[in-house]
Structure 1
């Protein structure tokens, strides 16, 4: 890469890091840039996963206050996404690159619909209860399974995995959106760390791209956490849905 291309990758990491901690579609920015700069798609995907780990670290540090509010859920999200991402990383290395291309954009659009409608869905579900029910602050078995499946997708490709996790946590828990956003950021980090370790051991990587992405993404992830905390919940939800729709349309085009 030339000097100008180095700066482009650092700037891409910065923007993608901010997206990791807010709307959750970072890979739709960073992955295409790496491919455009000449990296083969599988190498770009694996390198992107490793290079974006600092974004999740920066974002999780920025959201540490929110994560401390729900320690039980926090640890369960880490474990389920980490375990799921192992399967996703194996799929990336073993299957043809086009296996999920047909279904993933529609899955992202569906999860965008859930994220957007989550307040109304939650109110409707609670109205169906015959008596007052305490807020849900623990993961149900169904939510845990879907969190693990989101981890699988995060290990495989990851574009839109943050939006998917927002949908899973938003429907399964009665928590403030800022806390759900923090948990989503940590979930993406857990999936990237485990998948990244596998890629370091067995996949071809571009370490220059990884280093440049990491340099920008750790700053962007931390800054994005502060931005995500300041955004009004309704505006953040709208941005998440818009980002997910753009991600899905981009993948369909």
Structure 2
């Protein structure tokens, strides 16, 4: 990126702010910032790496902003974060080893399925509750091995590209846990912060990135993450779920048309 182009710098800064806020509330902020980086002339892999680095402050800020919803979940979050870290490392390595087209067919289907699960979460949760009432079983508080494996695999994708990874996390947790959507969203922000940070550390050592783009995105996402946390925590579960589905649907459409 040419530092002399003020308009480009302002665009990247604004994209970082918007992406930081959207990531905390919904996910899919990468679909705002990544095209802007490409528009400035950065190669796709350099843009992906720079984007991952630049959005870390927003992810961390969002997780801190949701700290009230995270109380009492330390052990579960530590376990899921360990899986997310391993998945992120694998995904970051795949980004440098595989052609960019590998995920183009799979990702829209994956995100689309996640959106269906998010939309249907109240119905699915109601049926699971009735089934547990009939059988006398209680819900597992950690989601079991199935959730851990799902979150780890989702983190492989997150380390590779990260667009809409938050939606996939919320869908998986909503399917396996009997918990409020805002609490799931809080955990999602922690996992996204873990994945972005681990992938970024890998990229710092093994990949090329643009420091100007990273600095501008980081500045914008730091502000956006705080704004997103304040707005997102005030939303009702119904509004938050509708927003996730709406933004995710736009994300899928953008992926298909790209």
TM-score normalised per structure 1? 0.97
Q: Which residue matches 1:246? A: 250
| Cα displacement string for residues 16-37 of structure 1 (whole angstroms, at most 9, x for unaligned residues) | 0001111111111110110011
- Structure 1 residues not aligned, in runs of 5+: none
TM-score normalised per structure 2? 0.95
Q: CA deviation at 1:124?
A: 1.2
| Cα displacement string for residues 85-111 of structure 1 (whole angstroms, at most 9, x for unaligned residues) | 011001100001101101111111110
Moved over 6 A (4+): none
Find 1:154's aligned residue among 158, 161, 169: 158
Instruction: Determine if the alignment matches structure 1 residue 123 to structure 2 residue 123.
Output: no
Find 1:74's aligned residue among 65, 72, 77: 77
Q: CA deviation at 1:72?
A: 1.8
1 CA distance for matches of 2:242 and 2:250? Answer: 12
| Cα displacement string for residues 36-58 of structure 1 (whole angstroms, at most 9, x for unaligned residues) | 11110110001100110101111
2 CA distance for matches of 1:53 and 1:248? Answer: 23
Superposition CA RMSD, Å: 1.1
Q: Which residue matches 2:147? A: 143
Instruction: Determine if the alignment matches structure 1 residue 186 to structure 2 residue 190.
Output: yes
Q: CA deviation at 1:77?
A: 2.3
Farther off after superposition, 109-118 or 77-86: 77-86
| Cα displacement string for residues 127-165 of structure 1 (whole angstroms, at most 9, x for unaligned residues) | 223244434421310000000001100000011100000
2 CA distance for matches of 1:61 and 1:125? Answer: 31
| Cα displacement string for residues 166-205 of structure 1 (whole angstroms, at most 9, x for unaligned residues) | 0011111111111100111111111011111111101010
1 CA distance for matches of 2:95 and 2:172? Answer: 23
Q: Which residue matches 1:13? A: 16
Q: Which residue matches 1:212? A: 216
Find 1:197's aligned residue among 194, 201, 206: 201
Q: Which residue matches 1:87? A: 90
Find 1:44's aligned residue among 44, 47, 52: 47
Q: Which residue matches 2:109? A: 106
